[in-house]
Amino acid sequence: MKLDTQNPKPIYVQIQEGLEDAILAGNYSEESQIPSTTELSRLFQINPATAGKGVNALVDDGICYKKRGIGIFVKKGAVNMLKKKRQAAFKGDFLLPLLKEADRLDISPEELISWIKEVHHGEN
């Protein structure tokens, strides 16, 4: 997990997304504990309130839950929830920019689809 201080994206959002990525990748498995606000704040040298906001966003989204006095844990089913959430954002985050650039370069959607198939085959 890395923070990009030049990125205009708010730091707490970067914390939230970084933790989400780690959960999706299985680095924090379901029912395991994620780093505390203090650990995140020290590691990235950010205000604890900022780190806390990122962690709380995961709790608010139902991805994680609080165990009183112990810490924050990944909920059962979190990976699936995150996949759904990211799938819903996929169009706006990846597809639209891709199509915009393709359009600028006169690459037709049909051509794009054939490229995707080509690359996908090549990788498998």
Partner 1 sequence: MEKIRVDKVSKNFGSKEALKEVSLEIEEGKIYGLLGRNGAGKSTLLRIISDRMAADSGQISYEVNGELKKLMSGDLYFSEPKNLLPESMNVKDFCKYTQYFYPRMNTEETLELLAQFRIGLKEKAKNLSTGNYSILRAIVALHSGAKFIFLDEPTLGHDAINRELFYDEVLRVYDEEKTTILLSTHLIDEVSHLLEDVIFIRDGHILLNNSVEHLLNSYAYLTGPKETLASIEKQYKVLQKKEQLGFLSLLVERESQSTSLPANVEVESLGLQDLFIALNQNK
Binding site for partner 1 (CB under 8 A): 5, 8-11, 38, 41-42, 44-50
Q: What are phi and psi of 11, to 5 degrees?
A: -60, -40
Q: Which is nearer to partner 1, 10 or 109 (CB)?
A: 10
Q: Which is nearer to partner 1, 18 or 79 (CB)?
A: 18
Q: Which is nearer to partner 1, 32 or 38 (CB)?
A: 38
Q: Which is nearer to partner 1, 5 or 124 (CB)?
A: 5
Shortest Å distance, C-beta 42 to partner 1: 5
Shortest Å distance, C-beta 40 to partner 1: 11
Shortest Å distance, C-beta 52 to partner 1: 11
